[in-house]
Structures are given as C-alpha cells and as structure tokens.
Chain A
C-alpha cells in the first residue's frame, strides 16, 4: 500500500501532471467566465487551509482526521456569490502544501494532493452551487445543503486516489472506494461547522474565523499529547514484558499473544473500544506477578524444595496485592489468586475481562512450548478449552475465541509456532499445566 511518506513514485508523474493541468484549466476557465474574485477571503482561507491540513491527526485505529474540508466548506459558502468555482478550487489547491513533503523526493505529493483537493473542492462547489438559494438560505433546511457537497468531495477524492493507485500498481479500485462511507461520516461534522463558519464570515467578516481556529487548535494539541502519552504508556508496558522475557525465555511473545487472543474475545463479545483498550492493557500485564518470583526459582529445571515452594506461594499473595493497586488490573486479581479461577454460576457475575484473559492465557500456554512440555496442536488445545467450558472456563469466552480463530483461519500450536528456538534441554513432548503461578504450583505438586 502506498503511503504519502514514501518517495513520490515516478509512474504517478504523468497522472499528476495531467490532473494538475485539468484543474488549472478549470480554474482558468472559471476565472475568465466570472472575473469577480474576492481577494481577502482568498488569502485568509488559503492560510487557514494550509494550517488546517497541518492539523491532521492519525488515530490509533489508523483513521486520519483532518479539519481541511471545514475550511473548504467555508470557502464554498463565502465564494458562492463571487468566484463560486475558482475560489474554492484555489483554496483546495493550497491544502496540498504540506511541510512534510518539502523534501525533493516527496515534492511530487504536493502537486498530487493539490490536484486532488482542488478537484474535490471544485466538485463540492458545483454540488452546492446547483442548489437554489431558497434551499440554501433558510436555516433548518440549509443544513441539508451540506450533504451533496460532502458527498461530492468524498467521491471525487476517493476516485482520484483509486485511479492513481490503479495507475501505480494496479490494485483493485474497489478497495480504495470502500473507504467512501467512513470518510463521509468523518468529514460531515467538519462540513457542518464549515457551513456555519462560512455564513458568519460572509455576514460578519474574517475576525470571526479566528475565534473558531482557537478551539480547534486546542483540541488538536490536547489530542496529540494524549497520543504521545499513550505511546509512552505502551513503551512502559513493553518494558514489563521485556523484563519478564529476560527472566523466563519460554514466555517470549506470550504477553502479546495473550493480548491478541483477549482482543479477539473482546471483539466477539462486542466490547466498546475503551473497554478493549483496558482489556488489552490487562492482558499485556497479567503476568506482572512473575516479576517478584526470584529468577532462580522461575528457571529451576528440577523440583523445588519445600522452602522454595513456600517462597513461590508467598509471592502469589504479593501479586494479588500488586494487581489490586492498579485500576485496569484489579478485575483479573481473583483469577491470579486462584480464588475464582473456576468458572461457576457464583463467579459468572464477576468481570468477564478476567475470564477472557484466563481463556486467552490457557490457550496460549497450551499452544506454545514450555519448559515442562512441547506445544500441543491447535485441535487438542481448543478441545481442552471446550471440555472445561462451563467448569473452568467461561463458556462465552471459549466460544468467542474459537469463533474468532476459526473465522480468521489462524493456526497455532505444534508446527505453527512463530519462534521455534533451540533449547539446551529439549522439553518433553507431553506434560501438564499451563502458564501462571497457580499452574506452576500445580505442576510442582504433581512432580
């Protein structure tokens, strides 16, 4: 997939030159046909357009939110009575200017985006100009006038990108066009605000525009610090995972896999994004208790002495205490403590997050190689989950995980492990237990 951070591909040169030429001809034609250009709104809105395109924010789910079309819509309303086509197209064209693309290798993207946004704004301006004044002016009805403009800009820009991708590497047009509806939903609020801003600009002059820029800049600033803090938090959780992996090589990748499986379960159960994020954090950190188990005991190949065993048990209490200090880990404390590790009607009312992580943990433990046995096959692991569903595991969570894995066609377990390492002492093929302190203790008792 092409991203705008890459070098501008040579194959797109012809396409870009052609579309730039078309857009310029349209602007020129419109300017000749209608020479009344309002200059103040042109430079005010052009400046605003460049600024707003620099306010793009990429959300964690990959969606890019930009207030660009808000300025575009403002321009369409402001220029409606003067240069109705040339004005919005010029404002659209300057949106292509982005500081990130100033390097010689990426400069092509500026022309590419300028043509794209100019044609998009032009299409939206046409859609808006086609509506008669009695529809656009009175208010409750006037709001609806945004819709054709918004649809026009989204469709034209999606087509532009789709055709350019097709020129570049012959990918299916359909995948590019599937983004139209989400894009429309994303720009509609901006389009509404842009419509009203345009009316206020037209009636009261440009200072009013500055009033709206302030809150938008603020929102962007706060949201950016949120994204940064989120990244730092992510790094801190990885720190924990690294510390765990350096203590116990067998658990490499375990936390991430448990987080992925827990996410599958959460998605199948229809959790909200906020809840999914908390579930992910809890899953990533569910083994935090292992940090307090001395290295020598965690990696001891043979049997633990009674004294060593007592130390492990003591650490189990400490783990629960630790988990209870942390908001997003508190729900999983009962599982680690072993109090409610068994599913029953009495415990079913507790937080489903705990059960989801328990199932994810058990599944990954069974499908990966541990010091006490090699990985089981996926069929055996799922069968084991199913047979204990309703007694040890939450039935909904087991079903959700099975559905998610089958639907994705993923393969885990023996023969499909991601990192197959060479062990000093090859683990036995058969064995019991799973991950976690409770099972460690259980395995020891048996041994």
Chain B
C-alpha cells in the first residue's frame, strides 16, 4: 500500500513538473493551466487536512473553487473526473468510509461548487468587481460545506466541522479564492495566470504540513499517556482497564457539567494517570502493608506537578485524592476533581466489587450526605451518564 502511495505521489509530481514546463513554454494557453490543475487536484486528493484520525478535508477542494470560478463547465468536469479517478485509485485506506465513498463525495462537492458559483454568478452578476466576486466565492464555499456535511451525514461519517475542521475549511476557502482571483484577475486586471494557483498553494501546503505535525504529535502524546496508564495495571497495582474506564466516565461527567475543553483535557490526563504513583512505591503483594489510596494520589499528584504542562492535571489528582478538604477551592477545578473522584469510586464499586450500577450510584449519594451544590451536580451527572449507558446496553 505504501509503495502504491509513493508511486502515485511521484506520478502526480511528474504531472506537476510537466505542467509547469508547459506553462513556461506556452504561457497563453489554458491547456497548461488545466494540466497543472489536474496534477494539483491529484496531489490535493492525497493531502488531507486531518485531525484526530478523522477524515480530513482534501486540499483539492481549493482547486475545485478555482475550476468553478474560472473555467467553463466542460473543463471543470474533465478535471473533476481526473480527481475522481485519482481519489478512487490512489488514496490510502482510511479509518472510516471506503475509497469510493470518498471519491464520490469529493466529486459531488466539486459539482456543487460548480453549480453554486454559476448560479450565484447569474443571479448576482459580473465578476467585474472584487466585492461581488468575493461574495459569490463565499456563497460557493458555504454550499460546498453544506453539501460535504450532508454527504458525510448520509454515509454516517463523522462531521468535518469540529474545531480544527473549521480551521481547515477556512484555509481551503481563502486559499482557493486567492488562487482563483490570482489566476484570472478581476475584470481583466491583475491576472497572474498559472502562477497564481502555484504561488498561493504555498500557504495551503504549509497548512497541510502543520496539520500533519499536529496530528502526529497528538497520536504520540496519546500513546505516551496510554503507556504510562498501563504501567500500574500491568504491574498488578490497579485493575486492568481501570484507567480507561475511569477516564471515559469522568469525561462523560465533565461533558455533562459543561466543563471547558481545556479542563476536560486536563481531566482526561488526570484520570488516565491517577494510579501512576503506585509504581514508585513498594509493591504490597511482596509483603508489607497495602498502600492507602490517598498516598498513591498524593505521590501521583506530586509527580505530575513536577512538570509544568501537567501541573493542572496534578492538581485535579490531588484534590480528587484528598477527600473533602477542597470545598473552598474554585468551582471548576473542584467539579473536575469531583468528577474524577466519583468516576473512580463508581468504577471500583461496579467493576471490582461487582455492584449493581444503580445501587452503586445510590450508595455514593448516601455517602456524600449533606454536600454542596457542585458535588450534588456531579452525582446527578454520574447518575444520568450511567443510566444512559444502561439503556444503551439493554437495547
């Protein structure tokens, strides 16, 4: 698969270089531009602005904008066809959605761009003024996003409009508009010809590069956390799968309480690593008294606090470990710590001691007694989350 991918990339680059040569030799013909756009589309189909292993937005969408704005529909369809073939034949096997689904989706989005630009152009009129042209381009992009989202929803593929997806769309739309304006100019002024798309692809490729780096860093980070979370479980100091379950439950509670994305990230790290400190203490199975949970939490929190970027997660672990001494602290950190504390207590009761889910929640509520509003809201959230899980299981 890797070999095929590399060969295709080499072919696409060959096409690009051929097109550049053609463009230098015959600057006036738009055939050269078309060759370039074909090569650009093929490469663009390979380069996706991805995030968190989701299906990304392909850079070829920018070329679709150029095609819709500057070329007649026959040219658009021929390049679009080339993109379709490239997408169907070249793409790496993705996590979700088949190659044909993606090729079809890209072709549909390209077609929608064409129809949207043409219709808006006929309705609003001329591309003689920059403001009008920009308006038409905005309409085109909005239609593209809507169609892309619609097709994703039909094929049960996750939405592309999450946080980084929005950034990806902005990069693609603004670069596509620049390429289109640069290629043809406005009312005959300021056209750079084939050089427009080439030059304004630079920021787009830079965007792709930083998205790839971010994605790689994200995967590396998740795996580092995963490795550290596994250590106490494999050492027999915590039940297997405990940190995974507690993290999922704590995050669900946190989401239910509308905690900010940053707090949720910290909460996840805190939940995944809350037993880590146990590995630095003596193993009770080889003799000696069992280590109290509070000591483990204390040691873990100290370890995390030693690292500047993990200190906030360390605070959550510390507060979650030290029973009720933290009520005077700020409500947000408090809610995160309580989410971790209750997720942990619930998992210990249900997974380790085999308690019934409803009984576990009820006994936690009784144990909490007369507590403050934040703690009550955390228990309520726990109850809602676990009840939803039960209903999903019984279905």
Using CB atoms and an 8 Å cutoff, list the residues of chain A in contact with chain B.
Answer: 139-140, 143, 189, 192-193, 196, 199-200, 202-205, 207-208, 211-212, 214-216, 218-219, 221-223, 225-226, 228-233, 235-240, 242-243, 246-247, 274, 281, 285, 288, 291-297, 308, 311, 315, 318-319, 321-322, 325-329
Contacts and interface: CB of A to CB of B under 8 A. Distances in A.
B190 A199 contact: yes
A196 B200 contact: yes
Q: Across chains A and B, which 9 residue pairs bring their CB atoms closest together, nearest first?
A: A203-B190, A294-B283, A292-B235, A235-B307, A291-B231, A223-B210, A215-B203, A226-B214, A214-B174
A219 B201 CA distance: 13
Given A239-B304, A295-B281, A196 B182 contact: yes
8 contacts: A143-B195, A189-B202, A196-B182, A199-B190, A211-B178, A223-B214, A226-B217, A292-B279
B210 A222 contact: yes
A246 B280 contact: yes
B221 A229 contact: yes
A242 B182 CA distance: 55
A246 B195 CA distance: 59
Nearest to B174: A214
B114 to A, nearest CB: 21
Given A196-B199, A226-B217, A318 B174 contact: no
Given A225-B214, A235-B310, A295-B280, A288 B199 contact: no
A235 to B, nearest CB: 4
Contacts of A211: 174, 177-178, 181
B145 interface: no
B174 A229 contact: no
B43 to A, nearest CB: 17
A242 B224 contact: no
User: How large, as a class, is the contact surface on chain B?
Assistant: 35 or more
Interface string B269-291: 00001001001111101110000
Contacts of A297: 286
Which of the listed residues B175, B185, B227, B228 has the most CB atoms from chain A within 10 Å of its own CB?
B227
Contacts of A326: 223-224, 226-227
A199 B178 CA distance: 13
Contacts of A235: 307-310
B190 A239 contact: no
Given A189-B202, A292-B234, A140 B24 contact: yes
Interface in B156-186: 164, 167, 170-171, 174-175, 177-178, 181-182, 185-186
Contacts of B324: none
A322 to B, nearest CB: 5
B217 A236 contact: no
A211 B194 CA distance: 19
Contacts of A293: 235
A242 B225 contact: no
A50 to B, nearest CB: 20
A239 B221 CA distance: 13
Contact of B280 (A218, A237, A243): A243
Contact of B130 (A204, A295, A318, A329): A204
A414 B130 CA distance: 74
B270 to A, nearest CB: 13
B394 interface: no
Contacts of A202: 190
Given A193-B203, A294-B235, A318-B235, 8 more contacts: A219-B203, A221-B167, A233-B220, A239-B273, A240-B224, A243-B280, A285-B224, A295-B282
Contacts of B230: 322, 325
Contact of A236 (B130, B214, B225, B287): B225
Contacts of A204: 130, 181, 185-186, 189-190
B9 interface: no
A208 B192 contact: no
Given A212-B178, A215-B171, A226 B210 contact: yes
A293 B237 CA distance: 11
A232 B309 contact: yes
B134 interface: yes
A81 to B, nearest CB: 15
Contacts of B189: 203-204
